[in-house]
Amino acid sequence: MAYVLNSQKKTHTIDEIYLLPSGKRAELIDGQIYDMAPPTRKHQLTAGELFTAIHNYIQLKGGACMPYIAPFAVFLNQDDTNYVEPDISVICDKSKLTDKGCFGAPDWIIEIVSPGSRRMDYFTKLFKYSTAGVREYWIVDPDKNRVTVYNFESENMEDYTFADSVKAGIFDELYINFSDIARLLEL
């Protein structure tokens, strides 16, 4: 999704996010509002396939974790100046969940890069997620056929392509075959 910095002069709060007109989406990072553009077809297809693979794996294994697809509110630092809507969030500590969303860091976050979100996903969110306590962060870049996996617990980063099968670090046996997603994106 494309991001546009709304204002750099004032520190905004989550209350202002909730006052936005119906249908307008934005994120709040360190008190700055970033407007979100509508996602592309590639973005939505990729998000849907990833969510389905994760959801099906958790259901099959009878796992306690819960996957959520955007828009889903994550109050990242449990403060009033950080609110994000990751493309996919996996939360294993159900005490973090309320009807409003997740209060605290999800265990696993996946962001799917759009042309306008590249800097946000690769830099701003990478730093925010690593310092907030997210265990694993994937940056999925359909335009570059690239998947970058950050395992913050082991301080490890690996790059993959859409020809690879990528293992989820927070689960023992979950592998996501990106070549299947790549074939769908060619349609």
Question: Looking at the chain, which runs of residues are DSSP E strands?
Answer: 3-5, 26-29, 32-36, 66-69, 74-75, 88-91, 97-98, 101-103, 108-112, 136-141, 146-151, 156-161, 165-167, 175-177
Q: In this model, does residue 12 exceed pLDDT 90?
A: yes
Instruction: Quick: pLDDT tens for 66-119.
Output: 999 999 999 998 789 999 999 999 999 999 999 999 999 999 999 999 888 899
H or E element in which residue 46 lies: helix 41-61
H or E element in which residue 41 lies: helix 41-61
Q: What's the pLDDT at 37? A: 86
**Positive or negative torsion for Cα 110, 148, 165, 173:** negative
Instruction: Quick: pLDDT tens for 139-183.
Output: 999 999 999 999 999 999 999 999 999 999 999 999 999 999 999
User: In the structure, what pLDDT confidence band is assigned to residue 38 with cuts at 50, 70 and 90?
Assistant: confident
CA distance 123 to 146: 16
Burial of 150-187, coded b for 16+ CB within 10 Å and e otherwise, reads bbbeeeeeeebebebebebbbbeebebebeebbeebee
Which amino acid appears at position 180 of this protein? D
First to last CA, the chain: 21
Instruction: Name the average pLDDT for the chain.
Output: 92
Quick check: pTM over 0.75? yes
